[in-house]
Chains A and B, each alone.
Chain A
Amino acid sequence: MNAGDAREPAARAAGPRALPYGPAAPSGPADPPFPGGAARVYRPANAADTLTAHDRSARGDAARWEPLGMAVTPVLDLRGIDKSFGSVKVLHDIAFSAYPGEVTALVGDNGAGKTTLVKCIGGIHSPDAGEYRFEGRPVRLGSPRDAAALGIEVVHQDLALCENLDIVQNLFLGREQRRGIALDESGMEELARRTLSGLSVRTMGSVRQKISTLSGGQRQTVAIARAVLWDSKLVVLDEPAAALGVAQTQQVLEIVRRLADKGLAVVLISHNMNDVFAVSDRIAALYLGRMVAQVRTADVTHRQVVELITSGVSGDLGLRR
């Protein structure tokens, strides 16, 4: 299997590649590979502003990308990614794209390679072969820090929050704002409030709660908020609803949708087909380390996706036998 096999949707997805450097990203060869200098395609320069509610109404709708045929540079564009651990080849020739303003669901059975792929995206593993393009430009990630510097944030399943610290402290952990040698607590609290209310989470008087007092859904919200607090362009969520109840799952999915509506590219890993269909714009299905299809959610049915996950093929879609 290769990119060519992933039929029509993949071919459509290939459309944008005709314009290797999107209209608003006039990056010359002299450009540094990491941001700072990188032009932003769909987000303002000021990270602090990106997630306010005000912002959403002002720009949110405009940032909603219209149908796939349009020339939109994928934020993330992987081609031909291989990854082996010793003699075990975990990823075979993966092609995967994530678009701004869209939720791309990454589905697959246990052991299909979802986590490995996410770790490659997040810079934890480096692929053995293949091309990693971020905002149209080829990059090489040596570490999670490189990924964060580009604007890639991964929310891992275990969330990685410090329970003895409060919400604000967790949001800014490792990237504290300071005034002189001291912490700028007021500034951080304000920004935390704005970010959380941008995610439509009411936080009056509660951003100083310790994480240990929060419910699972609230913790997930904090972890997601931490991912989008910075100038992130791509957010990868690993099973955000796995341990949550019905109501909390719905809240988290709402937040996921909001992130995409703000213009971020969101990659959502999930086992739950209802969640996937509720929130995603595209579905990418992995089967035994191969990308069997990347399709628009509207174009497939529940059953087709389940077939892709379990057998790698569904009608015209998927692996050729």
Chain B
Amino acid sequence: MSTDLPEGKETAVKLADSDFAADRREHDVRSALLDYWGRIRAGELGALPAILGLAALIVLFFALRPNTFLSNQNIANLCTQALPIVILAMGLVFVLLLGEIDLSAGVASGVCAAVMAKLIADSGQPWYVAVISALAVGVVIGTAIGWLVAVVRIPSFVVSLAFFLGIQGITLRLIGDGGTVPVRDDFIVALANKNMPVWLGWTLAAVCAVGYAATQLLRWRRQQARNLHSRPVELVVAQSVVVAGALLLGTYLLSQDRAASPLIFLGGVPWGVPLVGVLLIVCTFVLARTPYGRHIYAVGGNAEAARRAGINVTRIRISVFIIASGFAAVSGIVAASRLNSVTPDAGGGNTLLYAVGAAVIGGTSLFGGRGKARDAVLGGLVIAIIDNGLGLLGTKAYLSFLITGIVLLFAASIDALARRRRSNTGR
């Protein structure tokens, strides 16, 4: 307590002292863990539900199908199955962060894939022209939705529902009723069907693990050096170790021989995985470390406050829909690669629900302002495991729909309950 103040001001200074004192303590492992526990109890669940869900599902399906579920082949299969969901969900995270929704993202991925496939198959364009065209279609769709939502101020639910119907019509017109456009371009097919050489997979995994640990530790050291808020170093190290472990374990599993015949070797990380990795790193950086990302959170948290702070709310709103549709295009291309073809119902059905479910299960709030790019990856894995596991169990289609719907509702309930809990506990 400073003593150089006149007698009369004593009380006020004490109050000022106490006001911020609640959080004033040394952060060691114990207090950080207690803090974390407190946050969870207060409804800030973060990635916890997704990780628990992943563990529970893996145990469940392994118990039910011990021979097939964790076979080398199925793990790789699971991975490529998750790719389009994860990419679509990652784009949706941006929209969900504003508390908006894009119901058309799934069918947008379908129309973008159709454009790409038609350009390659019918017009003989090289793959990069087709991919750029598909991305451009995504951007155009996103701009249109964003403009209608942000400028005309139609609720995004209605706008994207209209696009959901309209775009399916366009895809149908492009491909023709009952038609199928095959995808045979080597590059496109390789995305989901070919694997990196084993050594390259290991190298990339190692580089990522070391890079992650280095970034975390460097930040910690900078914060220490400048006496800023930082986490205990033990936790930083532990987190780096966990991430490195997950990366290396994944690489190990995907590097096993999964060929049906013992004569050939089939293994390695599918090429789509580093694609998702790059998208994850870029999105995480943009959301957490750039003014643009900060403004997205601000608009999602309190649009009026953001507007008064001089943020161009309209531009932010339009941009997230462009991002979502752009990611949808990438997702559509990967899905087309996996299926080797594009059909008129590409991206229809439960594609969008899977992606929204992935984002929400991962921890992104439907109410806006909360969420991370990694949510899409964690939640996407959960959804892919459910989809994959139910397939292995030979569940009837109607049951799969029911179960997936229930899972989505369950995730949304956790989100809503956690939110209520947060407001009750003043968080």
- A residues near B (Cβ < 8 Å) are 144-145, 148, 156, 159-165, 169, 173-176, 178, 181-183, 185-186, 189-190, 196, 199-210, 212-213, 215, 217-218, 221, 247-248, 250-251, 253-255
Chain A residues whose C-beta falls within 8 Å of the C-beta of B289 in the assembled complex = 182-183, 185
List residues of B (277-324) whose CB comes within 8 Å of A's CBs: 285, 289-291, 294-295, 297-298, 300-302, 304-306, 308-311
**Using a Cβ–Cβ cut-off of 8 Å, how many residues does chain B contribute to the interface with A?**
44
What is the CA–CA distance of A254 and B27 in the complex, to the nearest angstrom? 30
- B229 in contact (CB, < 8 A): yes
Partner of A145, one of B16, B226, B310: B310
Which of A159, A181, A251 has the most chain B CB atoms closer than 10 A to its own CB?
Answer: A251
Partner of A251, one of B12, B21, B23, B305: B12
- B402 in contact (CB, < 8 A): no
Pairs A-B, 3 closest by C-beta atoms: A174-B309, A206-B23, A164-B301
Q: Is the CB of B291 within 8 A of A202?
A: no
What is the CA–CA distance of A165 and B368 in the complex, to the nearest angstrom? 12
What is the CA–CA distance of A164 and B27 in the complex, to the nearest angstrom? 22
Q: Is the CB of B294 within 8 A of A169?
A: yes
19 A-B pairs with C-beta separation under 8 A: A161-B302, A162-B301, A164-B300, A169-B298, A173-B305, A173-B311, A186-B228, A190-B226, A196-B20, A200-B16, A202-B17, A202-B24, A204-B20, A205-B25, A205-B229, A210-B427, A212-B426, A248-B15, A254-B16
Q: Is the CB of A160 within 8 A of B304?
A: yes
Give chain A nearest CB distance to B49 CB in angstroms: 19
Chain B residues whose C-beta falls within 8 Å of the C-beta of A251 in the assembled complex = 12, 15-16, 19
Chain A residues whose C-beta falls within 8 Å of the C-beta of B25 in the assembled complex = 205
Q: Which chain A residue lies CB-closest to B229?
A: A208
Q: Is the CB of B294 within 8 A of A160?
A: no
Q: Is the CB of B20 within 8 A of A206?
A: yes
Q: Is the CB of A212 within 8 A of B422?
A: yes
Q: Is the CB of A164 within 8 A of B310?
A: no
What is the CA–CA distance of A257 and B310 in the complex, to the nearest angstrom? 28
Chain B residues whose C-beta falls within 8 Å of the C-beta of A159 in the assembled complex = 305
Q: Which chain B residue lies CB-closest to A57?
A: B4
- B222 in contact (CB, < 8 A): yes
Chain A residues whose C-beta falls within 8 Å of the C-beta of B223 in the assembled complex = 186
Q: Is the CB of A164 within 8 A of B369?
A: yes
Chain A residues whose C-beta falls within 8 Å of the C-beta of B306 in the assembled complex = 162, 173-174
Q: Is the CB of A248 within 8 A of B19?
A: yes
Known A-B contacts A183-B294, A200-B16, A212-B422; A165 and B21 likewise in contact (beta carbons under 8 Å): no
Q: Is the CB of B11 within 8 A of A250?
A: yes
- B264 in contact (CB, < 8 A): no
Known A-B contacts A164-B300, A250-B11; A175 and B309 likewise in contact (beta carbons under 8 Å): yes
Known A-B contacts A206-B24, A254-B12; A162 and B298 likewise in contact (beta carbons under 8 Å): yes
Chain A residues whose C-beta falls within 8 Å of the C-beta of B422 in the assembled complex = 212
Which of A174, A175, A190, A212 has the most chain B CB atoms closer than 10 A to its own CB?
Answer: A174
Q: Which chain A residue lies CB-closest to B15?
A: A251
- B194 in contact (CB, < 8 A): no
Known A-B contacts A162-B301, A162-B306, A183-B290; A190 and B228 likewise in contact (beta carbons under 8 Å): yes
Give chain A nearest CB distance to B23 CB in angstroms: 4
Give chain B nearest CB distance to A50 CB in angstroms: 19
What is the CA–CA distance of A169 and B369 in the complex, to the nearest angstrom? 13
Q: Which chain B residue lies CB-closest to A199?
A: B16
- B260 in contact (CB, < 8 A): no
Give chain A nearest CB distance to B14 CB in angstroms: 10
Chain B residues whose C-beta falls within 8 Å of the C-beta of A206 in the assembled complex = 20, 22-24, 229
Known A-B contacts A162-B301, A250-B12, A251-B12; A175 and B290 likewise in contact (beta carbons under 8 Å): no
Chain B residues whose C-beta falls within 8 Å of the C-beta of A247 in the assembled complex = 15
Q: Is the CB of B309 within 8 A of A164?
A: no
What is the CA–CA distance of A238 and B46 in the complex, to the nearest angstrom? 36
What is the CA–CA distance of A178 and B290 in the complex, to the nearest angstrom? 8
Chain A residues whose C-beta falls within 8 Å of the C-beta of B304 in the assembled complex = 160
Partner of A183, one of B291, B311, B426: B291
Partner of B290, one of A181, A190, A210: A181
- B33 in contact (CB, < 8 A): no
Chain A residues whose C-beta falls within 8 Å of the C-beta of B30 in the assembled complex = none
Q: Is the CB of A218 within 8 A of B20?
A: yes
Q: Which chain B residue lies CB-closest to A124?
A: B308
Q: Which chain B residue lies CB-closest to A207?
A: B229
- B238 in contact (CB, < 8 A): no
Q: Which chain B residue lies CB-closest to A210?
A: B427
List residues of B (234-293) whose CB comes within 8 Å of A's CBs: 285, 289-291
Q: Which chain B residue lies CB-closest to A200?
A: B16
Partner of B19, one of A175, A178, A207, A215: A215
Known A-B contacts A162-B298, A250-B11; A186 and B20 likewise in contact (beta carbons under 8 Å): no
Chain B residues whose C-beta falls within 8 Å of the C-beta of A156 in the assembled complex = 308
Q: Is the CB of B291 within 8 A of A178?
A: yes
Q: Is the CB of B302 within 8 A of A144?
A: no
What is the CA–CA distance of A251 and B20 in the complex, to the nearest angstrom? 11
Chain A residues whose C-beta falls within 8 Å of the C-beta of B200 in the assembled complex = none
- B9 in contact (CB, < 8 A): yes
What is the CA–CA distance of A306 and B23 in the complex, to the nearest angstrom? 41
Chain A residues whose C-beta falls within 8 Å of the C-beta of B294 in the assembled complex = 165, 169, 173, 176, 183
What is the CA–CA distance of A26 and B226 in the complex, to the nearest angstrom? 40
Q: Is the CB of A162 within 8 A of B302?
A: yes
- B64 in contact (CB, < 8 A): no
Partner of B426, one of A162, A213, A253: A213
Q: Which chain B residue lies CB-closest to A214?
A: B426
- B13 in contact (CB, < 8 A): yes
Give chain B nearest CB distance to A72 CB in angstroms: 25
What is the CA–CA distance of A217 and B18 in the complex, to the nearest angstrom? 12
Give chain A nearest CB distance to B113 CB in angstroms: 32
What is the CA–CA distance of A145 and B310 in the complex, to the nearest angstrom? 7
Q: Is the CB of A161 within 8 A of B226?
A: no
Q: Which chain B residue lies CB-closest to A255?
A: B16
Known A-B contacts A174-B311, A218-B19; A205 and B370 likewise in contact (beta carbons under 8 Å): no
Supplied contacts A160-B309, A248-B15, 6 more A-B pairs, CB within 8 Å: A159-B305, A160-B308, A169-B298, A183-B289, A186-B228, A251-B15
Chain A residues whose C-beta falls within 8 Å of the C-beta of B301 in the assembled complex = 162-165
Chain A residues whose C-beta falls within 8 Å of the C-beta of B26 in the assembled complex = 205
Give chain A nearest CB distance to B12 CB in angstroms: 4
Chain A residues whose C-beta falls within 8 Å of the C-beta of B311 in the assembled complex = 173-174
What is the CA–CA distance of A144 and B311 in the complex, to the nearest angstrom? 12
Give chain A nearest CB distance to B181 CB in angstroms: 39
Q: Which chain A residue lies CB-closest to B225?
A: A186
Give chain A nearest CB distance to B342 CB in angstroms: 36
Q: Is the CB of B24 within 8 A of A160?
A: no
What is the CA–CA distance of A173 and B300 in the complex, to the nearest angstrom? 13
Q: Is the CB of A164 within 8 A of B23?
A: no
